[in-house]
Structure 1
Amino acid sequence: MTTPPSPPGAERTDGPTVRIGALAPLTRPGWVEAGRHLSAGLELAVREVNDAGGIAGKPLELVVRDTAADPERAAAVVDELAGLGVAALAGEYHSVVARAAAARADALGLPYLCSSAVLDALTEQPTGWVARLCPPQSRGWHVYADFLFGAGHRRIAVAAQPSVYWASGTRILRDYLAPRGGSVFELDMSALTPAAVCDELVDQRATALLLLVGHPEPAVSIVKSVRNDQRLAEIVMGAPAGQPELAEWASSLGDDGAGIPFLRYLPERLTPLGARVEKALRERLAEAPSFVAFEGYDTIAVLADLLRSHGTDRARIAEAWPHVAVEGTRGRIRFSRTPGVGVWQWTGTPIQVVDRDPEKPDHLRVLHAG
């Protein structure tokens, strides 16, 4: 790995605390609830590291910055955090934002462990500076496509907004389903109203509608329109990006939000560590923790292990990605190189397709695992 010149402030990594910079969407238009769960996981893990003595006797300090789902803001924040002397970066939920952060971290020579952003092409070129905990989008959405196909869906509509992330998801689904006799057609939400979406679904004889759109809007309006249209009583709606995972979905939609399958990155059973962390996160959040909160916790668990064993030198941290072997909340974490993915990748991330039980909307049902 070629090490670029150190950015301003890099020499201050050897201060009274060991600093980790954290990125999260904490204000709109970012998905604020996801940012809150991610931050809760990060903060809980930092507290536990410090309760256990910190890093070589120094407190671990989390320096949190709001990205507000803005790639340009994220890039500027990475510059700021590099100047503050952080040893590494953690976090982020939105893929297009994480991609901007990863590009800047790579340019500055700053290790970045991405918690929750799944876009396969997280960086334009292979890099040794970036690693990722969540699965690449292609793997997760292939599992979701398997679920759709196994449930008998052959004509699938996607209500999509313009986005690299949504376009990538549509392409993954189409490429995977077409050879198996399935078809995927796109409904452009920059041009259609929720009522017009219903008309298109009827005209196209779709059996499933996937919501590749932002939350709360237009996702909430689309769901309500489809639920209220008697012509579409048999259609299945899905949200592979995970919108129904968080409590805000249920509070916005009530019973209408149930029975909408989504991807969740949790195993059938958490590890013993995961069970303990789940309890602590539930108390911290005053609600059931989402998979995003576990991703945050595991991010710090990995970085703390690297800091203890390799120190705060940025190049040494990045060089150690392939040697990681950490017990996380959802399994043992190791990084490797994955074809088509330019960053170090945890390949063992568990993947489930779940929904909110129509009989008990507060309960999540596992429909499929991959």
Structure 2
Amino acid sequence: MDIPVNTQSTSSAGERPGRPAVRIGALVPLTRPGWVEAGRHLLAGLELGVREANDSGGIAGRPLELVVRDTAADPLRAAAAADELAGLGVTALAGEYHSVVAHAVAARADALGVPYLCSSAVLDELTDRPTRWVARLAPAQSHGWRIFADFLLGAGHRRIAVATQPSVYWSSGVRVLRDRLTPRGGTVMELDTGALTPDAVCERLVEQRVSALLLLVGHPDPAVPLVRSVRRDPRLAGLLIGAPAGQPEFSGWAAELGDDGSAVPFLRYLPEQPSPLGARVGTALRERLGEEPSFVAFEGYDTIAVLAGVLRSHGADRARAAEFWPDGAVEGTRGRIRFSRVPGIGVRQWAWPPVQVVDRDPARPDRFRVLYTG
């Protein structure tokens, strides 16, 4: 079956005479049903990283070039794009936000023998078997979501409902939450949004006397209608709404929900105080995006910082570049990035980026409050 891929979106610093570019294939969700806002932030970070790498001399005098393909959150399309990029001679693959898509890319990278640095996907089982070709910047779901569960327990929440959709990612999230909460006296009740309307979800929440509802669903639908229904039900005035996957991070959430979208805790992978590098990059990303950069934008920048370090120390040969993961280290915007083997995870993992639980301040929805640090 022929899978369409985006062959138009290519970001390049250009080639210097006689010095061919070192090419990195970037996989990013830029059209729906992909999470377009996340893709835009991820790409902004990747592009800024490439620009700064080239401003500092490139790779041994050769420019770094980003060859971008839109995955649209489609694993088949992403796998086809990975094959195409490998055929174009990219030295490495980078990016992706959606876990099921990153899983498909990682499988192709392993089969093709192309280094892949996953920027933002968190599913623990990023690959079906251990591989030396893949590394990841984002914390594994089991790590971050356990921290979110600890936040819930610390805030006194024991009866938890989760609104879900069919997905390996959401199912994995439910499992992590249940494994963390149940031994500590918590209960987790699943509500299938495919079978229940938002009003029916509200009825179940009242009947079960839960104190927190977690949105393990897509944005904007059904997340936005669910939030609106809960916020407008006076019986649920004290209910906490949470979104561990990070939907409230992006400006579209606030634009669609207004005040209803505040006070919804979510996971964010940023330090409480930025380093000088993080502050400088944050300013540049803000100018590029025209809005506050999300943690996903910093993940994009750090991806290129790592790959530039890989290529400068190990060269542009694919096999040699993959040798960087076990022993290399790079200063990123959110700390020093070093990869290791983590039990139960088949790829080299940065263990761990900083993890926060934050929400949008009801008094100022454009400002985030740090509620818990893992």
Give distance in 1, aligned partners of 2:264 and 2:328. 36
Give distance in 2, aligned partners of 1:263 and 1:208. 16
1:189 aligns with 2:193: yes
Deviation, 1:15, is 7.5
1:215 aligns with 2:219: yes
Q: Deviations over 1:22-49 (max 9, x none)?
A: 0110000000000000000000010011
Pairing partner for 1:121 from 112, 122, 125: 125
- 1:40 equivalent in structure 2: 44
- 2:178 equivalent in structure 1: 174
1:242 aligns with 2:242: no
1:18 aligns with 2:26: no
Give distance in 1, aligned partners of 2:59 and 2:327. 19
Contact residue 329 and residue 338 of structure 2 kept, 8 A: yes
Output aligned runs, 1:200-279, within 5 Å: 200-279=204-283
Output aligned runs, 1:303-322, within 5 Å: 303-322=307-326
Pairing partner for 1:155 from 152, 159, 169: 159
- 2:8 equivalent in structure 1: none
Q: Secondary structure at the match of 2:296?
A: helix
Give distance in 2, aligned partners of 1:168 and 1:49. 37
Q: Secondary structure at the match of 1:334?
A: strand
1:361 aligns with 2:365: yes
TM-score of the aligned structures, taking structure 1 as reference length: 0.96
Give distance in 2, aligned partners of 1:133 and 1:157. 30
Give distance in 2, aligned partners of 1:85 and 1:43. 19
Stretches of structure 2 lacking an aligned partner (at least 5 in a row) = 1-17
Give distance in 2, aligned partners of 1:164 and 1:105. 21
Contact residue 19 and residue 63 of structure 2 kept, 8 A: no
Q: Secondary structure at the match of 2:52?
A: helix
User: Partner amino acid for 2:138?
Assistant: C
User: Partner amino acid for 1:247?
Assistant: S
1:65 aligns with 2:69: yes
Deviation, 1:190, is 1.1
Give distance in 1, aligned partners of 2:309 and 2:257. 41
Q: Deviations over 1:192-250 (max 9, x none)?
A: 11111000101111100000000011100000000000110010000000000010100
Pairing partner for 2:284 from 277, 280, 286: 280
Contact residue 263 and residue 359 of structure 2 kept, 8 A: yes
- 1:331 equivalent in structure 2: 335
Structure 1 runs of 4+ aligned residues shifted over 6 Å read none
Give distance in 1, aligned partners of 2:313 and 2:328. 10
Deviation, 1:272, is 1.1
User: Partner amino acid for 2:54?
Assistant: N
More divergent stretch after superposition (18-27 vs 316-325): 316-325
Contact residue 270 and residue 331 of structure 1 kept, 8 A: no
Give distance in 2, aligned partners of 1:64 and 1:40. 12
User: Partner amino acid for 1:273?
Assistant: L
Give distance in 1, aligned partners of 2:265 and 2:352. 22
Contact residue 136 and residue 349 of structure 2 kept, 8 A: yes
Stretches of structure 1 lacking an aligned partner (at least 5 in a row) = 1-13
The alignment yields a C-alpha RMSD, in angstroms, of 0.9
Q: Secondary structure at the match of 1:341?
A: coil
- 1:112 equivalent in structure 2: 116
Pairing partner for 1:341 from 345, 351, 355: 345
Q: Deviations over 1:99-122 (max 9, x none)?
A: 010011101001000000000000
Q: Deviations over 1:305-355 (max 9, x none)?
A: 110111111111112101221110000000000001100000030000000
Give distance in 2, aligned partners of 1:203 and 1:212. 20
- 1:80 equivalent in structure 2: 84
Contact residue 19 and residue 61 of structure 2 kept, 8 A: no
